[in-house]
Amino acid sequence: MSTHASLMDDVYRRQRHIYDATRKFYLLGRDRLIRELAPPPGGTVLEIACGTGRNLIAAAQHYPRARFSGFDLSTEMLATALHSTLHSGIGTDRIVLAQGDATSFSPAVLFGVETFDRVFISYALSMIPDWPAAIEQGLRALSPGGELHIVDFGQQEGLPAFFRRGLFAWLARFHVSPRADLFEVAQEAAARHGGQVRQTRLYRDYARSVTVTLDQAARRSSPISESNS
């Protein structure tokens, strides 16, 4: 944890100040994910690797009756998230922040709760070395019938090859590695926890959206579907 945390702090120590202004042009699908969260009234939502807090604030504004929690490994990003949430006009009783590792966090330790109605991960799995463990932990943090929402870079299968090569080379400079087998890994994890998995390819596969919905009993695997958008 300490090595990767130090790397993330080094990456974002300066970038955090311009992160939201620049990332809106290419972290596509984040607002779509927020619109699809649809937590129940009074429900609880967790963002894994919350970064600057941008998504948490947008989601809290969209769902004023829900409560939100978020954590990140980087103290640099958390400093920005704390500043942003404090100045957002949203009370600290509705957005709670903590530092934690996506691959080994405990909701009870970080936030004093056992599970959440919704968990989401936005453009973070491509920066987490043991990203399958983050998916596993996300599912463990879900209540029965809850949903895990993921959006991240796709494989650009519907875009020109030169675009894919250029994008991947540029992303690698920031320690970002799009996960080609995201759907398959989510499928395997859902089978262990009991749930349905849906993947949507966005913007000619520039990005991919994956949603895992747990059964109310959350004991056995269920049908899996894929669609294109």
pTM beyond 0.85: yes
Q: Any idea what the CATH number is for the domain that residue 26 is in?
A: 3.40.50.150
Domain that holds residue 142: 2-228
192-218 pLDDT, tens digit per residue, is 999 999 999 999 999 999 999 999 876
Indicate the Cα dihedral angle 61, 52, 121, 65, nearest 10°.
Answer: -20
Point out which residues pair with 139 in neighbouring strands: none
149-165 pLDDT, tens digit per residue, is 999 999 999 999 999 99
Q: How many domains does the chain have?
A: 1
Whether the CB-CB separation of 193 and 139 falls below 8 Å is answered with: yes
The mean predicted confidence, pLDDT, of the chain is 89
Max avg pLDDT among 3-12, 25-34, 110-119:
110-119
Q: Poorest-confidence range of 88-92, 121-125, 168-172?
A: 88-92
Distance CA 175, CA 167 (A): 12
59-84 pLDDT, tens digit per residue, is 999 999 999 999 999 998 899 999 99
